[in-house]
Chain A
Amino acid sequence: MAPCPPEDRETVLVALEHRFGIPRDLLGDRSFFRAADDRVFVGPDEVPGDVDPVVGGLCVARLQARVKPTTDFLQAFGDHVSRSVVDVDRDQARAFVAGEDVPRSDLDADVSRGWVAVRYGGHVMGCGFWNEEVLESVVPKGRRVDLEAL
């Protein structure tokens, strides 16, 4: 776990504000870390040097061509998301959580192609990709579940 280079941190903060309306001040004072791959984390402010962690903090996003927020991050900070939100109904929520794609023809015009926060019952459930025809679930395989109760 290494400190996140300032330019990567800036890329993430700008993308989250631009795409999702998450105020940059919300995370602006926090400590960021970068894994060896493309993952950026927000973590504790102080980690003793001799404790050599294998990983830590909450993964905020992956630095892909479009910065991709994680489902864990969107769930934790969902109350601060104000743009690129797709509200789903009960059956669609069930499909999304199971990792299935959700056909949609009725999305608001202001949701453009790209990563979206998927919301049900007022709760952001995770990250999806809106390709202008289908809402693709990108819930990690380990988090997918066939819900009994919604």
Chain B
Amino acid sequence: MSLEPPAFPDAFRDRLARLVDDVDDLLDVLRTPRPTSIRVNTLKADVASVRRGLVDRGLDLEPVPWTPSGFRVQGDVDVGLTLEHFLGHVYVQSAASMLPPRAVADEVEGARVLDGCAAPGSKSTQLAALMDHTGLLVANDRSWGRTAALKNNLDRCGVDNHVIAQEDLRHTGWETRFDVALVDAPCTGEGIVRKSWSPLEDWSVKRIHGLSGMQRLLIEAGFDLVRPGGTLVYSTCTFAPEENEAVVDHLLRARDDARVEPVGFEGLDAAPGVTRWDGDEYDPAVEDTVRVWPHLSDTDGFYVAKIRRTTA
């Protein structure tokens, strides 16, 4: 006997129908579990030998096109219970969550990098692998409980160029400026229902609006911590334009020196940011941000924006 998946809230479904043409395809995919994916931690292992080792264990690995060290994994073995995982040679990470660090893959070596909402550490460890023991990674998370998991993951991955800070990003008081900052903001998590239904259990438009207010403060704070000429990446795992394009639009209005930069990801079938929603019209530049739709890419839902702080 199989259980019927829970029903999507009507308002959730209606909102998605306004964002995509093929909403039934999207909802069908959202009812299915997402594929497991891993990233080889190149700080401790090389991609080819880890791949070979996991294939020898009977796992099928298919490359994640936008991440040279990323693979979707199929098989009866729990990757989290393999020797490779214990050794810190692999990190279980959703394929979509590998996108934000890839947006700055060419900018982080030797750089001063901030991961503003870092726990539990998938993107921090990915940034650290791209930095390859150079520069400084400040992995910040305001939650004491969550920083313990963050530290464990950084240690398992052998990351030696990091420090962990425990600040509310909105009120760090730091005068230090970073070459690159990532704000992977707390969000409603609409995009990860293939992993857990819980984001829809307390879902409401009111909650979206509440989070949008916090996200506007977080993106401002993250941007202000970037040096002129540096880069901010803003990301979420939600579909709601109020938490995505509206937040970027807010930053563009609030900061004269913020510019959206187009960003593409190899092999990713994605959609541009939306410029209109609920009667609001956003800065046309948000079209250069990236919407990741599960029915197009067989991933979680995700949103990524790359923003340059200009030097002028």
Contacts and interface: CB of A to CB of B under 8 A. Distances in A.
Interface stretch (B97-105, B171-179, B278-286): B171-179
B162 interface: yes
Nearest to B174: A50
B226 to A, nearest CB: 14
Given A53-B165, A58-B159, A149 B174 contact: no
A51 B163 contact: yes
Contact of A97 (B78, B86, B112, B161): B86
B82 A76 contact: no
A67 interface: no
Most B CB atoms within 10 A — which of A1, A93, A145?
A145
A57 B176 contact: no
Interface string A17-60: 00000000000001000000000001111111011111111110
Given A125-B87, A145-B81, A47 B136 contact: yes
A145 B152 CA distance: 14
Nearest to B148: A142
23 contacts: A30-B160, A42-B160, A44-B136, A44-B163, A51-B138, A53-B138, A57-B161, A72-B88, A72-B156, A75-B88, A76-B43, A76-B160, A97-B86, A125-B86, A125-B87, A143-B156, A145-B81, A145-B86, A146-B81, A147-B81, A147-B82, A149-B83, A150-B82
Most B CB atoms within 10 A — which of A76, A120, A125?
A76
Interface in A44-90: 44-48, 50-59, 72, 75-76
A54 B85 CA distance: 26
Interface of A: 1, 30, 42-48, 50-59, 72, 75-76, 93, 97, 120-121, 123, 125, 142-143, 145-150
Nearest to B147: A54
Interface string B144-187: 00010001100110111111111000000111100000000000
Nearest to B82: A149
Contacts of B151: 55
B83 A147 contact: yes
Interface string B53-68: 0000100000000000
Contacts of A72: 88, 155-156, 158
Given A123-B83, A143-B156, A149-B83, 17 more contacts: A50-B173, A50-B174, A51-B174, A53-B163, A54-B147, A57-B161, A57-B163, A58-B159, A75-B44, A75-B87, A76-B160, A97-B83, A145-B80, A148-B82, A149-B81, A149-B82, A150-B82
B86 A147 contact: yes
B213 to A, nearest CB: 26
Given A51-B138, A58-B158, A143-B156, A43 B163 contact: yes
A149 B173 contact: no
Contacts of B175: 50
B173 A43 contact: no
Most B CB atoms within 10 A — which of A53, A54, A93, A149?
A149
A50 to B, nearest CB: 5
Counting from the closest, the 6 A-B pairs by CB-CB distance are A56-B163, A76-B158, A53-B163, A148-B81, A48-B176, A58-B160
A45 B166 CA distance: 20
Nearest to B152: A142
Contacts of B173: 50
A58 B136 CA distance: 13
A44 B87 contact: no
A51 B165 contact: yes
Contacts of B272: none
Contacts of A57: 160-163
Nearest to B166: A54
Given A75-B88, A148-B82, A149-B83, A43 B161 contact: yes
A59 B160 CA distance: 8
Interface in B71-85: 77-78, 80-83, 85
B136 A46 contact: yes
A75 B156 CA distance: 9
A146 B159 CA distance: 24
Contacts of B80: 145
B135 interface: yes
A47 B163 contact: yes
